[in-house]
Structure 1
Amino acid sequence: MELPLSNPNTSDSHGLSSPKEGVKAENKSIIATLLAQSSRHLFGPTSAPKLPLKHQVVSIEGLISKLGYLKPAEIAEIKKAFHFSDNAHLGQYRHSGEPYITHPVAVAELCATWRLDAPSIMAALLHDVIEDTLCTKADLVDKFGSKVAELVEGLTKLDKLEFQSHAEAQAESFQKMFMAMARDVRVILVKLADRTHNMRTLDAVPMEKRRRVAAETIEIYAPIAHRLGLNIIYRDLQDLSFRYSMPMRFRVIEKAVKRARGNRKEMVEKILQTTRLAFAKLNVEVDLRGREKTLFSIYSKMRNKHLSFTQVLDVYAFRVTVSSIDECYRALGILHSMYKPMPGKFKDYIAIPKINGYQSLHTTLLGPSGVPVEFQIRTRDMHAVAESGVAAHWAYKDGSPDMSEVQNRAHQWLQSLIDIQDSSGDSQEFLEHVKIDLFPDAVYVFTPKGHIRALPRGATALDFAYSIHSDLGNTCVAVKINGLQLPLRSELKNGDIIEVVPSSNSQPNPGWLAFVRTGKARASIRHSLKTTHYAESLQLGERLLASALRQQAVDAGLLSPEIWEKLLHWTGDKTRDEACVNIALGRRSAQELAIRLKILIDEEGGATQMRLGASDWVTPPQEISSPHQRQAILVDGREGNSMSFQSCCHPIPGDNIIGYLGKGEGLQIHTNDCPLALRMLSKDNDKWVEVEWGKEINREFDVDLAIDTHQGKGVLARVASSVTSADSNILNVSMDDRYKEDAVTIRFTIQVADRLHLAKVMRSLRANHDVMRVTRTRTT
């Protein structure tokens, strides 16, 4: 986990001096001397002469001074862990030239400020020994017990040599960390302390690495800190990421804030003095402090609202800390009597806490000279939670029923990660879902029984159903919001009361992926589509691969188990069936796999003649077409959710069609003249496959019609009658004025069996005297 590392000797992939080779011979005598001195100086002041950074003895006196809340026996174990880590990292240095052990000690000190338990402090000291030294998990179990070893193992990255790319290695390591974190929240607390110290010492690493680490921090670690309520770390990581990812903008805003600090000092002092006096007169004891907003929050406001720095007036905020909840509301009344509140700028996070457990009253007032001033009012306990979140008043207990509200909320979120893990196909998909859930804002809604639930801003009614339980989401057919039946895609608002109507016969629709917002909903839908319709996807994938093999003139009889094993090693799939399902879901290219199989056969010289007798999709050699002949996939409408007919063009039997393999969404069917399909085809030609209608089709398809009619009473009813008289069902109808008072356009979505049936409907409409024109429409 250590990021800014140096490599004075030979290095491994982490930039550390290799422990196998040790330090150079000329350094051995120096280190031996220092180790001899360490028994005298390790835990007390040292009078040793000043040495270069890399030769200085590291003391944990500062760490020990912060551990007064632990028992002497626990502190002794922590000292033992320090000695073990110091010896394990001997000869390893940071980019700054300091001994590497300075980093674990600094991480442990951060953990001690949260008053974490002894195993957490020990894990902080040992967090890199498995990853960067010859030490193993078994060694840690033997020395310090299984709990400490599990924490350290959860903090250890996976070997990058196992993966095809840095992105895949990063996703796998994050997934491993999140799962360890779901089992034990101490893992992420130590990791956040580790990342915070790395960010504070990032000056020593090259610019390119600074930007990469800063981007990773703002994208993953800062949101995790916010999600767990660790607001001090959250703000620190944001500002540090801003500093290293956008150094010039950071310096400009930093200078502007320093100038403003001098210009507004008099106003801030006046507000503090006036407010303290007002509270004193009413005998309300408060702790009143002014707080400067972080540089990143100022920059974000400038960027999001397109403001210059001079237009960002609320650079300063004031925090009012009182003894009880009653005094919070009393303090609010006092402030509102002093300055006028700005409409719409009051938020009560005490009555309805934020999703990470944060509680305060927020109000923005018009201060002196009409300058907006923000006040945050909270109790002392709320302040502890606001600053340290899940780490506030930390006391780790397995399955403790005495968890605080904020710890309970964190526990619920961590448990949801396990649900996402169970539903995700791979580590990168898992990481994508988790990023969705690391949201900065929330909307609060209610169940019919009055229980409150928090969802990300923009969440839909279907997201709510999945937040209750995956099975409820999978079987959802309708929702009622505030008593009114509304579409599943309806966006939720604060205070909505949602009732879910399930049906045991309902199944998830691939179209749901287009509008759900939460990671749990997306993961559950994809998992259901993959498992419930596994056979459909497998069949489609086999057909797609068989077609691609025919195009490459590959004799399927040469596909021996050995060749399949080599292919699966190349793709990373566990079985042939999994590879075919991934083709159907758009995660793999059938053409790419067919080319790879051809290469593998050519490498073996075509000598292998083993047959795969159980494969229904394998084309016998005598049926192979001429080289590169393209054979289309037949579509009969019975493929289920492995295939979808797109609403942009509503293809129906008789139309010329083309198929697109959307990632995770199966085969999407378009008409070959669909404007959207043509635009997508020009950008991503590899994911398109040839498809044709089958001979027997036993279902109906949606189609859009625009009908220009004369104005008049009963026109809609007569036009609808013309549609139904042609044996067609109307799914949707809308109207809009076209020629003002002369005519109106009626838009229908109807169901037809094929183009002949559509022609029959259109003839019936044209025979209607109210109808001027009938056209089939599509989305542009």
Structure 2
Amino acid sequence: MGIRSFAADLLPAALQGRPRQLPAMAPAVGTAPTEVSSFAELADKLGYLGKADLKKVRDAYKFADEAHLGQFRASGQPYITHPIAVAGLVADWKLDAQAIMAALMHDAMEDCGVTKVELIERFGAPTAELVDGLTKLDKLQFSTREEGQAESFRKMLLAMSRDVRVILIKLCDRLHNMRTMEAMAPHKRARIARETLDIYAPIAHRLGLNQTYRELQELSFSFIHPWRFGALQKAVLRARGYRRDIVSRVHDDVVAAFNDAKMKVEVSGREKTVYSIYRKMEEKHAGFAQVNDIFGFRIIVQTMPECYLALGVLHQLYKPVPGRFKDYIAIPKPNGYKSLHTTLVSPLGTSVEFQIRTEEMHAVAEAGIAAHWLYKVGQEANPGDVAQRLGALWLKSLLDIQDETRDAGEFLEHVKIDLVPDAVYVFTPKSKILALPKGATPVDFAYAIHSDVGDHCVAAKINGEPATLRATLNSGDVVEVVTAPGARPNPAWLNFVRTGRARSKIRHYLKTLENEETQALGQKMLAQALRAEGLPLPPQEATEGRPSIWPALLRWSGNRTPADLLTDVGTGKKIATIVAKRIAQLLREQGQVPDAVTLSLGRYSHDDNAPSQGLVVIDGSEGGSITLAPCCRPIPGDAIVGYLGRGEGLTVHTADCSVGKRLFERDRERWMQVEWSEEPIRAFETAVSIVMRNGKGALAQVAQAISSAEADITHIDMGDEAVGTTAEMRILVSVRDRQHLADVLRTLKRSPAVLKVQRVKPS
């Protein structure tokens, strides 16, 4: 059997001794298609379309040409050259006529005032939906550029979840813009390049579009760090000459080995991109000379079993580096990538990486989901359906995140987390494989299985051994999650989860819980304020012979629902007494009069210094809607008052708190009466200052004294002063009430290590 050998990018230069000069701003990263600049050139690329489709594309071109008439790019070229070039890049992937038409008209709605209705009438709904998905939301008013970009990005990704062609066209649009950015101002180039590197290049990688991914990375790097890019590019060119003999010898050895094995393969050279070399240098804190796997080889075989036969041939030829073999055929990457990776030690002691794959695997490796249009992989009837299925898992996670996240900036943050390219592969107890980002934890694993599993997880086992929920997962781990019906997400999980899905689910739960607590607080406050008017809180539904006052109340308040109004009362955006007076007026208009018994229940002090709203009872179960002020840290037994901040909920201060007194003088109408429940359900933190002798075991004696008083230490602060014969320490102790605190202070005073102890109060 024979062997074909070629060496794209690397070997022609290395073997023939003629290093190929790279373009200054657009380094070669594979065979880049030729750009088109006229419709005639574009039409030459569209031979795969039928005559009817070609006519539709021509009509779309004429429409776009007329729409962009008189517009020019920063380079001075007519603007229509950009849509034509984008359509040419889309045509290189053999996408259908609708996608080509959308590429030609992708800026028509945004820059030319064309409406979606007009596009639907002329070119049909599918094409109009594609164009709309690509249109930024510039016509809406946003407070910042970042907010507008985030909202536009969210719109595009949601359109992509319905039709993957949206993101393919957008990537072609971004690629052409990156190739032609020299005419723009340097600060704009750097901003667009950073956005490309952070968002669009990772999306291309996530969808398996590796050629596009590499070029976007290279171009972005060249605009963000032009000097570093130029220096490394020259170093790579020099290295080709220095390592010519190594590459030539390894190539000849590999060709000979496969000839001896009578295997028909294609051997091609592969060179790391300048950006990937830069990343490796950063990660390893190494110089260019220490990055020794700049060159590698790719082996293309005919069938999948031959991948493993080729691996055996290579391992017989050179010794493999332990731990550097990866089987992406048995466990493909989430974007569908399949290949065998192995690193071998060459005769001259350098490490050389080999990738082994079939032609079909190579097509998917380079073009990702676009390969299903470009190569008709698997000869499917509808390549678009296949591509949509390939991206289905990630697209589904986008929709899940969207459901839980209403803020565009937060949505973009979650998506960026999910774009991390490195992955670990872990197993469920039933041997199902899950791909998670590097650094993922059992909580990420739980939410990847199901949101209910994540919400109720309490513990985990990794490879049969108990593990913490913040443990880092490694490839090959078997993970088991333990759940409990009463368990709920912990806010502390946000500090270590890695997936956007887990983060959005946790945040959504906490926001929902906080809204429910705030709404309940608002209802309690409004009911107590109405008692002062001698009226009960009216029902939201109409009763016998009496219509509900809530529609009129909502029109007055500007809220959409009663829940929104109660939430505003609970967060302090609206004052309960003012809302209560409006309710009383509406009820009087219906003929309802105050009730004497209710009025007597609502009476409270008429002292001018008394807070102006009804009483709220504090028992420790209030959650995020009520905060104990960190300046005075009140505990049961303290005289307390409540301050209803604007949008911050209720903050409880001690009555003698100096901070609280200043707020009271400034904003009296926002104060309300609060009192402790007779039976609080938890312990409360307060601050204690201790002056102690500095000696061996002093801290242990203090801890022992607090423990013997049945209290817990939650925080210790020793300050930054140099330690002398005495030391001052501030601690937070968790106590039941003032009596319990007094017991703790007495016990501390009896300790031989303690000179002075007192409760800390704001000055």
Q: After TM superposition, is the score higher than 0.5?
A: yes
> Does 1:423 find its partner at 2:404?
yes
* Aligned twin of 1:172: 151
Distance 1:667 1:294, change over 3 A: farther
Instruction: Please list, as runs of the form range in 1=range in 2, the aligned pairs for 1:325-364 lying within 5 A after superposition.
Output: 325-364=304-343
* Aligned twin of 1:439: 420
Distance 1:623 1:103, change over 3 A: farther
SS at match of 1:378: strand
* Aligned twin of 1:97: 76
SS at match of 2:324: strand
SS at match of 1:343: coil
Letter in 2 for 1:207: P
Deviation at 1:178, TM superposition (A): 1.0
Instruction: Please list, as runs of the form range in 1=range in 2, the aligned pairs for 1:539-554 lying within 5 A after superposition.
Output: none
SS at match of 2:293: coil
* Aligned twin of 1:640: 623
* Aligned twin of 1:506: 487
**Contact 1:529/1:641 (8 A) holds in 2:** no
> Does 1:412 find its partner at 2:393?
yes
2:474 to 484, 493, 498: 493
**Contact 1:115/1:393 (8 A) holds in 2:** no
> Does 1:753 find its partner at 2:736?
yes
Query: What are the ranges of 5 or more consecutive residues in structure 1 without an aligned counterpart?
Result: 1-56, 546-560, 598-605, 672-688, 732-747
Partner Cα separation in structure 2 for residue 248 and residue 659 of structure 1: 59
1:468 to 436, 444, 449: 449
**Contact 1:510/1:665 (8 A) holds in 2:** no
How many pairs were matched up?
Answer: 646
Deviation at 1:414, TM superposition (A): 0.5
Distance 1:385 1:304, change over 3 A: same
1:197 to 162, 168, 176: 176
User: Which one is further off, 281-290 or 693-702?
Assistant: 693-702
1:300 to 279, 286, 294: 279
Letter in 2 for 1:501: V
1:61 to 31, 40, 62: 40
What whole-Å deviation, never above 9, does each CA across 1:183-217 have from its counterpart, x for those lacking one?
Answer: 11111111011100100101111111101111111
> Does 1:525 find its partner at 2:506?
yes
1:322 to 298, 301, 323: 301
What whole-Å deviation, never above 9, does each CA across 1:412-441 have from its counterpart, x for those lacking one?
Answer: 111111111110131111111111111121
* Aligned twin of 1:549: none
Partner Cα separation in structure 2 for residue 225 and residue 762 of structure 1: 63
1:699 to 658, 681, 697: 681
**Contact 1:654/1:693 (8 A) holds in 2:** no
Deviation at 1:754, TM superposition (A): 3.3
Distance 1:327 1:698, change over 3 A: same
Distance 1:243 1:634, change over 3 A: farther
Distance 1:85 1:271, change over 3 A: same
Partner Cα separation in structure 2 for residue 665 and residue 484 of structure 1: 43
* Aligned twin of 1:223: 202
**Contact 1:651/1:701 (8 A) holds in 2:** no
Letter in 2 for 1:701: A
Instruction: Please list, as runs of the form range in 1=range in 2, the aligned pairs for 1:120-159 lying within 5 A after superposition.
Output: 120-159=99-138
Partner Cα separation in structure 1 for residue 748 and residue 221 of structure 2: 63
Partner Cα separation in structure 1 for residue 78 and residue 64 of structure 2: 12
Coordinate RMSD, CA, aligned: 5.3
Deviation at 1:128, TM superposition (A): 0.8
> Does 1:458 find its partner at 2:439?
yes
Partner Cα separation in structure 2 for residue 89 and residue 563 of structure 1: 51
* Aligned twin of 1:27: none
Instruction: Please list, as runs of the form range in 1=range in 2, the aligned pairs for 1:724-735 lying within 5 A after superposition.
Output: none
Partner Cα separation in structure 2 for residue 436 and residue 287 of structure 1: 37
SS at match of 2:113: coil
Letter in 2 for 1:443: V
Q: Over alpha carbons, which structure has the higher Rg?
A: 2
* Aligned twin of 1:112: 91
Partner Cα separation in structure 2 for residue 257 and residue 668 of structure 1: 62
After TM superposition, the score normalised by the length of structure 2 is: 0.72
**Contact 2:705/2:748 (8 A) holds in 1:** no
Partner Cα separation in structure 2 for residue 642 and residue 75 of structure 1: 62
1:270 to 237, 241, 249: 249
What whole-Å deviation, never above 9, does each CA across 1:198-242 have from its counterpart, x for those lacking one?
Answer: 001011111111011111111111111111111111111111110
The higher relative CO (CA closer than 8 Å, separation ≥ 6) is in 2
What whole-Å deviation, never above 9, does each CA across 1:712-739 have from its counterpart, x for those lacking one?
Answer: xxxx9xx99996x9778999xxxxxxxx
Partner Cα separation in structure 1 for residue 210 and residue 409 of structure 2: 27
Letter in 2 for 1:234: Y
1:387 to 344, 362, 366: 366
Letter in 2 for 1:189: L
* Aligned twin of 1:30: none
Deviation at 1:499, TM superposition (A): 2.5
Partner Cα separation in structure 2 for residue 775 and residue 386 of structure 1: 69
Letter in 2 for 1:347: K
Letter in 2 for 1:330: L
User: Which one is further off, 241-250 or 525-534?
Assistant: 525-534
**Contact 2:684/2:737 (8 A) holds in 1:** no
Letter in 2 for 1:247: P
SS at match of 2:275: helix
Deviation at 1:375, TM superposition (A): 1.1
Query: What are the ranges of 5 or more consecutive residues in structure 2 without an aligned counterpart?
Result: 1-35, 527-550, 587-601, 655-669, 715-730
Distance 1:670 1:303, change over 3 A: farther
Letter in 1 for 2:117: A
**Contact 2:120/2:128 (8 A) holds in 1:** yes
Deviation at 1:578, TM superposition (A): 5.6
Distance 1:632 1:352, change over 3 A: farther
SS at match of 2:344: strand
Identity within the alignment, %? 50
SS at match of 1:345: coil
Partner Cα separation in structure 1 for residue 186 and residue 525 of structure 2: 46
* Aligned twin of 1:86: 65
What whole-Å deviation, never above 9, does each CA across 1:742-762 have from its counterpart, x for those lacking one?
Answer: xxxxxx999752354366579
Deviation at 1:163, TM superposition (A): 1.3
Distance 1:315 1:532, change over 3 A: same
**Contact 1:530/1:537 (8 A) holds in 2:** no
Letter in 1 for 2:154: Q
